[in-house]
């Protein structure tokens, strides 16, 4: 048997079983080996029957004194009853609907039984325990179902835990012969230097059939290391390649930059100055910039980017800004038109619904043609740019706002290349605070600029979790604010009403608010399924204060800038991650007015409420993201929209030490040219795409 041996050749796998296993993606011995348990049951505690305590999880060893099937009168189901005894006492054991058991288990057999004890301390019993013949220990050298830490696998219909354990057990000889794909030197070094590092074969054996919890932890560590290491290797290698590419060197033009900054209606913060300076320094090099501009919501990233855009355009190159939503694209279009009003730049927008160069509306065909010959200076768009196969000549700079993955390949695809190996400069902007560990792992390929300072005069947003008893009071408060000329957002999780989810929808809620609560106010409705012209019109009306309240789904989550809005009400707040709620909250408090965020949740679970209450005191996006990461994993921070983040089966992204080790070792492999064809194949097969690729 080797890794490629088909599962069908294992003992007790017929056609039907093979089909069911294939549904789990299990076709070969290798698939089985890399099918990891998602939890374990600790049945190591072998207890004398006389000492059994109700509710404890144990293994007993005893002899079957009696075993028989009977039919339950009430449920008409088969019940197998047995009496099992050891030298201390007897216990009754019951299984339901397994009549064949009396064929496997006979009076007089010695067995192990593992499971939870029920009944009371006087008449303990076990219901549906896992059983394993005691001679298994002699024959197979080891028990796999009882009297140990037992693996529990994710399963599909028709496959049982016992079956899977039995199959995985058969693969162990192949596991033991497996060669480590990591360089020997690396493994040897870490076996000595790192705590609890295991060889691959040992880690794989221990992940399935752990000897004890220490070795189990070590196995998880080694397999987690592998995941992090491979990602690091891939990112660092891509970065090496990118470093060998070229981008146009952009000269810093001091005079026009000074004039631009002087023309702004406000003074730049020191953090904005610092970040612009870092960006401009990168742009001056002929090596492509690869930078992340991180700054909490409202910290003023747009104008910081505008300074860079100004310089690139004045150097004769084109700039593309990409956004995740149409709303944001339209907003940027207007903002940049205003910012560059004195510069006479040709500013264009290309989304599915809006196609303009300046104020001139274009047909789709005309738009693509103009863009493809470079009849513009600054182009703002959504993913439509990629879908419509836009090719921009002299593309010098690509900016991605509030999106998390955009690789070199995509950047190259946008540019009409004149020479080989030319890649535009790249800036990714995000308000999502990225915890340090994730930064090192997934964003290890980016240089970082941080705007850690808010424009002067902003007041902290007052955040309250409002329970249903206080809802009316909250509405009265909101009414006063709106009467004073301010505006409010209301976020609901759903577009349409749903019977099953129990969350509010924008359609119902906007009607309810208009009829029952705020009949005197003007209420608008926004969600992702509206046509882009409608979205634009609604945003424009809200912006012009023709609407007092905007009821919206999470489409206004990122970037939207309405300085006059001071109230953010969020329905079904428990549905959202903390970092995402922080983003919603960032839609208000963008001017000098005191702003408020009210969180409503019909989920009365104390843990859910406690999680939300954390927002009342915490204004730091970083710690909110860390909290999300601990409780929900990395997917949560980015919402469901952003994909492309790696999924870790084993690695804990919060394990800073392991992340750092993986980073160090990947660097060592590249610097010392230890990369093997096997390692290469592994990283090329990965689905995850880094910024440098």
By CB under 5 A, name the binding residues for Mg ion: 559
Nearer to ligand ADP, 563 or 633 (CB): 563
H/E stretch holding 108: none
Residue with tokens 């070792």: 665
At closest approach, how far in Å is the CB of 401 from Mg ion?
Answer: 6
At closest approach, how far in Å is the CB of 457 from ligand ADP?
Answer: 7
Nearer to ligand ADP, 38 or 266 (CB): 266
Q: Which residue is nearest to ligand ADP (CB)?
A: 300
Ramachandran assignment for 212, one of left (phi > 0), alpha (psi -120 to 50 degrees), beta (any other): beta
Taking contact as CB under 6 A, which single stretch among the options 264-272, 378-386, 404-412, 665-673 is the one that binds ligand ADP?
A: 264-272
The number of beta carbons lying within 10 Å of the beta carbon of residue 365 is 9
Distance CA 48, CA 82 (A): 17
Asked if 650 and 216 count as a contact pair (C-beta separation under 8 A), the reply is no
- Residue of the chain from 62, 151, 298, 444 that contacts ligand ADP (CB under 6 A): 298
At closest approach, how far in Å is the CB of 231 from ligand ADP?
Answer: 28
Nearer to ligand ADP, 266 or 656 (CB): 266
Asked if 649 and 634 count as a contact pair (C-beta separation under 8 A), the reply is no
Contacting residues for 545 by C-beta, under 8 A, at least 6 apart: 485, 487, 564
Q: What is the DSSP letter of 594?
A: -
The number of beta carbons lying within 10 Å of the beta carbon of residue 658 is 22
- By CB under 6 A, is residue 509 in contact with ligand ADP? no
Distance CA 312, CA 577 (A): 37
Segment 337-341 long-range contacts (CB within 8 Å, at least 24 positions apart):
339/260, 339/264, 339/302, 339/303, 339/306, 340/306, 340/310, 340/378
Distance CA 239, CA 242 (A): 5
Nearer to ligand ADP, 273 or 682 (CB): 273
Total residues contacting ligand ADP by CB under 6 A comes to 19
- Residue of the chain from 300, 589, 621, 639 that contacts ligand ADP (CB under 6 A): 300
Nearer to ligand ADP, 236 or 580 (CB): 580
At closest approach, how far in Å is the CB of 607 from ligand ADP?
Answer: 31
- Residue of the chain from 89, 119, 393, 563 that contacts ligand ADP (CB under 6 A): 563
Nearer to ligand ADP, 236 or 269 (CB): 269
Distance CA 63, CA 66 (A): 9
Q: Which does 115 bind (CB under 5 to 8 A by kind): ligand ADP, Mg ion, none?
A: none
Nearer to Mg ion, 216 or 303 (CB): 303
- By CB under 6 A, is residue 266 in contact with ligand ADP? yes
- Residue of the chain from 238, 297, 551, 661 that contacts ligand ADP (CB under 6 A): 297
Task: Give the phi and the psi of residue 28 in degrees, each rounded to 5.
Answer: -125, 170
Helix axes 606-617, 578-585, angle to 10 degrees: 40
At closest approach, how far in Å is the CB of 406 from ligand ADP?
Answer: 17
Q: Percentage helix, strand, coil, to 5, in the chain? A: 40, 20, 40
Distance CA 489, CA 565 (A): 7
- By CB under 6 A, is residue 339 in contact with ligand ADP? no
At closest approach, how far in Å is the CB of 303 from ligand ADP?
Answer: 5
Nearer to ligand ADP, 453 or 602 (CB): 453
Q: What is the DSSP letter of 614?
A: H
At closest approach, how far in Å is the CB of 45 from ligand ADP?
Answer: 55
Taking contact as CB under 6 A, which single stretch among the options 142-150, 156-164, 229-237, 265-273 is the one that binds ligand ADP?
A: 265-273
- By CB under 6 A, is residue 595 in contact with ligand ADP? no
At closest approach, how far in Å is the CB of 320 from Mg ion?
Answer: 16
The number of beta carbons lying within 10 Å of the beta carbon of residue 685 is 8
Taking contact as CB under 6 A, which single stretch among the options 133-141, 267-275, 540-548, 567-575 is the one that binds ligand ADP?
A: 267-275
Asked if 376 and 344 count as a contact pair (C-beta separation under 8 A), the reply is no
Taking contact as CB under 6 A, which single stretch among the options 243-251, 262-270, 417-425, 472-480 is the one that binds ligand ADP?
A: 262-270
Q: Which does 295 bind (CB under 5 to 8 A by kind): ligand ADP, Mg ion, none?
A: ligand ADP
Distance CA 610, CA 592 (A): 30
Q: Which does 590 bind (CB under 5 to 8 A by kind): Mg ion, ligand ADP, none?
A: ligand ADP
Task: Label residue 623 exposed, middle or buried (CB < 10 Å: 0-12, 13-18, 19+).
Answer: middle
Taking contact as CB under 6 A, which single stretch among the options 106-114, 294-302, 528-536, 570-578 is the one that binds ligand ADP?
A: 294-302
Nearer to ligand ADP, 297 or 549 (CB): 297
- Residue of the chain from 299, 351, 428, 449 that contacts ligand ADP (CB under 6 A): 299
Distances (CA, A) of 446 to 429, 583, 604, 641, 664: 11, 23, 41, 22, 16
Nearer to ligand ADP, 298 or 524 (CB): 298
Task: Give the phi and the psi of residue 24 in degrees, each rounded to 5.
Answer: -90, 5
- Residue of the chain from 151, 210, 288, 295 that contacts ligand ADP (CB under 6 A): 295
Among 182, 218, 198, 224, which residue's Cα sits nearest to residue 660? 224
- Residue of the chain from 234, 590, 611, 691 that contacts ligand ADP (CB under 6 A): 590
Contacting residues for 233 by C-beta, under 8 A, at least 6 apart: 666, 669, 670, 675, 679, 683
At closest approach, how far in Å is the CB of 641 from Mg ion?
Answer: 16
Residue with tokens 């991650």: 577
At closest approach, how far in Å is the CB of 307 from Mg ion?
Answer: 15
Nearer to Mg ion, 112 or 406 (CB): 406
Restricting to residues 422-461, name those near ligand ADP by CB under 6 A.
431, 455
Among 440, 406, 442, 439, which residue's Cα sits nearest to residue 424? 406
- Residue of the chain from 94, 268, 417, 608 that contacts ligand ADP (CB under 6 A): 268
Write out the residues near ligand ADP by the rule CB under 6 A.
Answer: 266-269, 272, 295, 297-303, 431, 455, 559, 561, 563, 590
């Amino acid at each position: 048997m080797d890794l490629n041996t088909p599962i069908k050749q294992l003992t007790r796998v017929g056609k039907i079983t093979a089909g069911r296993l294939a549904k789990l993606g299990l076709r070969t011995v290798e698939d089985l080996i890399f099918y990891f348990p998602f939890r374990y049951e600790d049945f190591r505690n072998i207890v004398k029957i006389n000492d059994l305590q109700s509710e404890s999880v144990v293994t007993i060893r005893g002899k079957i004194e009696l075993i028989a099937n009977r039919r339950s009168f009430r449920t008409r189901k088969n019940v197998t009853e047995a009496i099992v005894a050891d030298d201390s006492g007897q216990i009754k054991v019951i299984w339901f609907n397994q009549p064949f058991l009396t064929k496997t288990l006979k009076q007089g057999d010695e067995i192990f039984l593992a499971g939870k004890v029920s009944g009371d301390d006087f008449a303990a019993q076990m219901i549906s325990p896992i059983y394993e013949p005691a001679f298994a220990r002699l024959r197979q050298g080891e028990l796999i179902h009882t009297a140990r830490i037992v693996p529990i696998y994710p399963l599909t219909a028709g496959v049982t835990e016992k079956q899977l354990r039995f199959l995985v057990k058969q693969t162990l000889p192949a596991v033991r012969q497996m060669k480590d794909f990591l360089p020997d030197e690396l493994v040897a070094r870490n076996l000595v230097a790192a705590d609890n590092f295991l060889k691959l074969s040992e880690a794989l054996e221990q992940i399935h059939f752990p000897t004890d919890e220490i070795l189990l932890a070590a196995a998880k560590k080694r397999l987690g290391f592998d995941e992090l290491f491979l990602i690091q290797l891939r990112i660092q290698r891509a970065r090496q390649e990118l470093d060998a590419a070229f981008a146009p060197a952009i000269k810093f033009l001091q005079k026009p930059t000074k004039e631009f900054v002087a023309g702004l209606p406000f003074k730049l913060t020191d953090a904005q100055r610092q970040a612009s300076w870092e960006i401009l320094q990168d742009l001056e090099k002929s090596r492509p910039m690869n930078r992340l501009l991180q700054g909490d919501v409202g910290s003023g990233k747009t104008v910081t980017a505008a300074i860079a855009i100004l310089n690139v355009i004045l150097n004769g190159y084109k700039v593309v800004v990409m956004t995740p939503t149409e709303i944001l694209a339209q907003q940027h279009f207007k903002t940049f038109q205003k910012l560059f009003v004195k510069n006479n730049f040709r500013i264009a927008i290309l989304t599915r619904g809006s196609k303009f160069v300046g104020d001139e509306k274009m047909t789709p065909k005309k738009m693509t043609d103009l863009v493809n010959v470079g009849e513009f200076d600054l182009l703002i768009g959504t993913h439509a740019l990629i879908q419509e196969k836009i090719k921009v000549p002299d593309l010098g700079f690509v900016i991605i706002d509030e999106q998390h993955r955009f690789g070199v390949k995509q950047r190259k695809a946008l540019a009409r290349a004149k020479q080989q190996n030319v890649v535009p400069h790249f800036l990714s902007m995000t308000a999502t605070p990225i915890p340090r560990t994730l930064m090192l792992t997934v964003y290890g390929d980016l240089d970082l600029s941080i705007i850690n300072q808010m424009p002067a005069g902003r007041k902290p947003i007052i955040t309250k979790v409002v329970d249903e008893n206080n809802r009316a009071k909250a509405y009265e408060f909101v009414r006063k604010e709106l009467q004073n000329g301010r505006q409010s957002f209301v976020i609901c999780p759903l577009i349409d009403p749903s019977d099953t989810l129990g969350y509010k929808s924008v359609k119902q809620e906007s009607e309810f608010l208009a009829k029952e609560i705020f009949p005197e106010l003007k209420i608008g409705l926004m969600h992702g399924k509206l046509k882009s012209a409608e979205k634009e019109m609604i945003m424009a009306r809200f912006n012009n204060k023709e609407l007092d309240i905007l009821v919206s789904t999470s489409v206004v989550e990122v970037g939207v800038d309405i300085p006059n809005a001071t109230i953010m009400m969020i329905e079904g707040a428990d549905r959202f991650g903390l970092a995402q709620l922080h983003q919603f909250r960032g839609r208000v408090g963008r001017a000098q007015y005191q702003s408020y965020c009210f969180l409503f949740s019909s989920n009365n679970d104390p843990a859910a409420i406690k999680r939300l209450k954390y927002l009342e005191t915490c204004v730091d996006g970083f710690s909110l993201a860390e909290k999300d990461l601990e409780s929900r994993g990395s997917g949560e921070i980015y919402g469901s929209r952003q994909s492309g983040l790696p999924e870790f089966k084993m690695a804990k992204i919060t394990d800073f030490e392991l992340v750092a080790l993986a980073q160090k070792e990947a660097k060592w492999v590249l610097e010392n040219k230890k990369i093997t064809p096997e390692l290469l194949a592994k990283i090329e097969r990965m689905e995850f795409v880094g910024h440098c690729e």
